[in-house]
């Protein structure tokens, strides 16, 4: 695999980054994140770096610039200030660290995703992109687009999502309300693509995944500086993009290299909408059965994705290779996690799914040998 060394005008990165399809191995890729040959997932491969977060750093994109696939620094117009990594509690002596993403400008980790996705869209020459959202990604793009007047978007959102979830109204982003759930919103967003428009790609969007990775790079560096060690990661999943991003951060983090073996990755869902949990159990049991959730429901609205099976295989692979697992929690476990900790850190229902899952893992004995757990609190109140 040779490093791509062409100019940004070709839509590729001019830096020491190679783009490779994880399914067919082709390195003939643009910056979209989806392989033109096989429609597989395209990842960025970087030479080793020693990038690490230092106290006082004001922009994660600057700190980890060597680990981003954006051709030109000047295309990045949104700075992402590092968010706190806090020692939330100890369970039988096992430190539970929380990455507090609710402090970001629109209250969720999605701000990082769009801070990397927007420059890549710009550098690809996209003028108008189309996507679907459960609310938080829409709010993040609505906010971020003000820094990219060259770009416009159309987002498809279920009619069940309240207006307030979608962030500021802006002429740069058209909102289409869809009868039905997030799956239906995704279907419409693809079916109604017009000439000159580009599908943003969702899970397959390279910028989104590389942006999501930053939260984990920061957290691993923070915990290492505090003298801790993370061997277990828990995040709430819808498509599983965040967990796949965590796997990339594990490979690329200086801190994790010092720890040796990478952390186990755990995907958390609410029992009332847990298609990935069920599909993973079916994989382990050898049936391989995959059943979409026809009527997704539950407290954590941001992660209500009933049919995650376009991304599931990538997520399951990352989890299996890490020797992690999938875990689901009930509404009362979610409420208990909120009640325990929402005065200490800003946390919404999806974040609480992850935190409740950490408690569940502890109760199940899965943290018995652990030296440290990182829980991604992906959204603040209402997110
Ligand atoms: C707050 C929050 N947490 C977690 C997720 C999970 O997303 P994914 O599994 O697609 O990374 C989302 C997605 O919308 C979210 O908004
Ligand atoms: Zn391919």
Atom from ligand 1 closest to the CA of residue 379:
1
Cβ(242) – ligand 1 distance below 6 Å? yes
* Rounded-to-integer distance, Cα 123 and Cα 13, Å: 9
| Bridge partner residues of 216 (DSSP) | none
Looking at the CA of 35, name the nearest ligand: 2
Q: Provide the pLDDT confidence category of residue 188 given band limits of 50, 70 and 90.
A: very high
**pLDDT (0 to 100) of residue 8:** 40
Provide mean pLDDT across the span 157-174: 96
**pLDDT (0 to 100) of residue 237:** 98
In three state form, how does the secondary structure of 212-227 look?
HHHHHHHHHHHHHHCC
What's the distance, CA 361 to chain centroid?
A: 21
Cβ(308) – ligand 1 distance below 6 Å? no
DSSP tag of 180: S
Looking at the CA of 38, name the nearest ligand: 2
Distance 7 CA to ligand 1 centre (A): 33
| Maximum Cα–Cα distance across the chain | 58
Cβ(370) – ligand 1 distance below 6 Å? no
Q: Provide the pLDDT confidence category of residue 187 given band limits of 50, 70 and 90.
A: very high
Residues with Cβ within 8 Å of residue 257, at least 6 apart in sequence: none
Residues with Cβ within 8 Å of residue 267, at least 6 apart in sequence: 235, 237, 240, 243, 276, 277, 280, 315, 319, 324, 325, 326, 327
**pLDDT (0 to 100) of residue 15:** 81
Atom from ligand 1 closest to the CA of residue 203:
10
**pLDDT (0 to 100) of residue 3:** 41
Atom from ligand 1 closest to the CA of residue 242:
11
Cβ(378) – ligand 1 distance below 6 Å? yes
Looking at the CA of 23, name the nearest ligand: 2
**Res 64 pLDDT > 50:** yes
Atom from ligand 1 closest to the CA of residue 241:
11
**pLDDT (0 to 100) of residue 13:** 64
Number of helices (H), then strands (E), in the chain: 11, 12
Cβ(237) – ligand 1 distance below 6 Å? yes
Taking only the tens place, the pLDDT of each residue in 209-231 is 999 999 999 999 999 999 999 99
Nearest CA to ligand 1 atom 14: 302
Q: Provide the pLDDT confidence category of residue 65 given band limits of 50, 70 and 90.
A: very high
Looking at the CA of 136, name the nearest ligand: 1
Residues with Cβ within 8 Å of residue 279, at least 6 apart in sequence: 289, 290, 291, 309, 312, 316
Nearest CA to ligand 1 atom 15: 302
**By C-alpha distance, which of 165, 202, 157 is closest to 182?**
157
Average pLDDT, the chain: 95
Cβ(241) – ligand 1 distance below 6 Å? yes
**Res 9 pLDDT > 70:** no
Contact present, 225 and 67 (Cβ < 8 Å): no
Q: Provide the pLDDT confidence category of residue 14 given band limits of 50, 70 and 90.
A: low
> Which residue segments constitute the domains of the chain, with CATH numbers given?
1-47 (no CATH), 85-108+206-377 (3.40.50.1100), 110-203 (3.40.50.1100)
Provide mean pLDDT across the span 322-351: 98
**pLDDT (0 to 100) of residue 37:** 97
Contacts 24+ apart (CB under 8 A), 2-8: 2/27, 3/47, 7/71, 8/71, 8/72, 8/123
Atom from ligand 1 closest to the CA of residue 236:
4
Residue whose CB lies within 8 A of the most ligand 1 atoms, among 210, 378, 382, for a mutation test:
378
Provide mean pLDDT across the span 342-360: 98
DSSP tag of 34: B
**Res 95 pLDDT > 60:** yes
Cβ(205) – ligand 1 distance below 6 Å? no
Give the rounded percent of residues in the chain with a pLDDT score beyond 90: 95
Q: Provide the pLDDT confidence category of residue 338 given band limits of 50, 70 and 90.
A: very high
Distance 205 CA to ligand 2 centre (A): 14
Cβ(211) – ligand 1 distance below 6 Å? no
**pLDDT (0 to 100) of residue 10:** 43
């Amino acid at each position: 695999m040779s490093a791509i060394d062409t100019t940004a005008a070709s839509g590729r990165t001019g830096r020491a980054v190679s783009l490779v399809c994880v399914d067919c191995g082709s390195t003939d890729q643009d910056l979209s994140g989806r392989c033109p040959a096989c429609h597989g997932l395209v990842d960025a491969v970087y030479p080793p770096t020693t990038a690490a977060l230092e106290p006082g750093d004001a922009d994660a994109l600057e700190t980890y610039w060597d680990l981003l696939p954006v051709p030109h620094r000047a295309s990045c117009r949104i700075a992402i200030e590092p968010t706190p990594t806090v020692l939330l509690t100890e369970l039988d002596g096992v430190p539970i660290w929380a990455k507090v993403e609710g402090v970001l400008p629109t209250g969720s980790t999605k701000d990082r995703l769009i801070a990397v996705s927007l420059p890549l869209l710009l550098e690809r020459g996209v003028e108008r992109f189309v996507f679907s959202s459960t609310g938080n990604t829409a709010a993040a793009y609505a906010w971020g687009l003000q820094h990219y007047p060259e770009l416009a978007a159309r987002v498809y959102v279920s009619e069940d999502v309240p207006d307030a979830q979608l962030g500021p109204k802006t002429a740069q982003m058209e909102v289409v309300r869809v009868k039905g759930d997030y799956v239906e919103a995704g279907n419409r967003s693809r079916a109604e693509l017009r000439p000159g428009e580009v599908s943003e790609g969702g899970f397959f969007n390279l910028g989104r995944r590389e942006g999501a990775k930053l939260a984990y790079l920061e957290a691993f560096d923070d915990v290492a500086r505090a003298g801790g060690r993370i061997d277990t990661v828990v995040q709430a999943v819808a498509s599983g993009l965040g967990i796949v991003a965590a796997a990339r951060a594990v490979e690329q983090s200086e801190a994790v290299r010092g720890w040796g073996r990478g952390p186990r990755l755990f995907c958390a869902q609410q029992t009332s909408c847990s298609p990935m949990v069920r599909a993973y159990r079916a994989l382990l049991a050898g049936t391989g059965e995959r059943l979409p959730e026809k009527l997704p429901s539950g407290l954590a609205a941001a992660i209500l994705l009933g049919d995650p099976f376009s991304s599931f295989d990538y997520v399951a692979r990352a989890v299996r290779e890490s020797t992690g697992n999938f875990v689901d929690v009930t509404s009362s476990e979610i409420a208990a996690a909120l009640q325990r900790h929402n005065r200490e850190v800003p946390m919404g229902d999806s974040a609480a799914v992850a935190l409740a899952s950490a408690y569940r893992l502890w109760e199940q004995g899965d943290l018995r040998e652990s030296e440290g757990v990182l829980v991604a609190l992906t959204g603040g109140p209402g997110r």
